[in-house]
Amino acid sequence: MISLIRLLACLFLSCFAILPAQSCSNPPHESTPASTITEVDYEAIANELTDMSRVDQEVRMRLVAWMQENQGRNPPGELSEEMGGMDEEHAARVKDIIDQIGWPTNSKVGWEASNAAWLIIQHASHDLPLMQRALTLMEPYFQTGEISDQDYALLYDRVSVYQGRPQRYGTQGGMLVIDGIKHHGARPIEDVAHVDERRAAIGLGPLAEYLQLLRQMYGVPDDEPNLPLDMTMDEYNAIAAEMRAAQSEDDE
């Protein structure tokens, strides 16, 4: 369940991160060679990205519905396999797109398609180098109006988690068994005392409200408490390692 929550933790927020699409005009500047800019059909790329995003959300909503009906348990293997195959296919196409035009910004493809590109990368858990590359491409546009700042924050947190580092905005969830009881909530956060200030700066609500929404979305039982917010990365990783070891023993 740890990996599934990590995979889906951005789903609720992404529904609100999509803004109305704007015109898909050619960008005024970018690292793409000037001789090739007029050859790019940005509108077609925008449509392709939004189509992939729509399919992504349809599949994930079916998974979330299953979890809600089954108190957060892992979904059937065929649903997870469908999602994994889709994620790999979509990520490969977005990689081709960023090879061609750089990061799909608002100026290039409009808000909705730019968000769609982020969403697909956010779900590319099989390809951390691609996620890191996307984060690097997005960084110059953070707080410029060319990308969603919330998209950047979510990807920053996810890459940090995958690299074994504390997250910054508290967007990535997890589950640990502590003293025999499942605990759900945010993975370790750097400077957690000021996390709500960082969230507010990019338009996110308080962490406590976000975590409660995630509990409701995934159907977490009321008797399973939240993870301690002051947990360190070392403490989290130690418990997670114990859980993996126990699972390996059960599988043998």
Could you give the 3-state DSSP secondary structure of residue 164?
Answer: coil
Could you give the 3-state DSSP secondary structure of residue 59?
Answer: helix
CB 75 within 8 A of CB 82: no
74/70 Cα distance (integer angstroms): 8
* Portion of the chain with pLDDT greater than 90, in percent: 69
In sequence order, what are the beta bridge partners of 184?
175, 226
CA distances from 205 to 75, 84, 169, 196, 198 (A): 29, 30, 11, 7, 10
Tokens 């068994």 locate to 177
Please state whether the predicted TM-score (pTM) of the whole model is above 0.85: no
Interval 107-129: pLDDT, tens? 999 999 999 999 999 999 999 99
Instruction: Using pLDDT thresholds of 50, 70 and 90, give the confidence band for residue 37.
Output: very low
CB 10 within 8 A of CB 158: yes
Interval 139-175: pLDDT, tens? 999 999 999 999 999 999 999 999 999 999 999 999 9
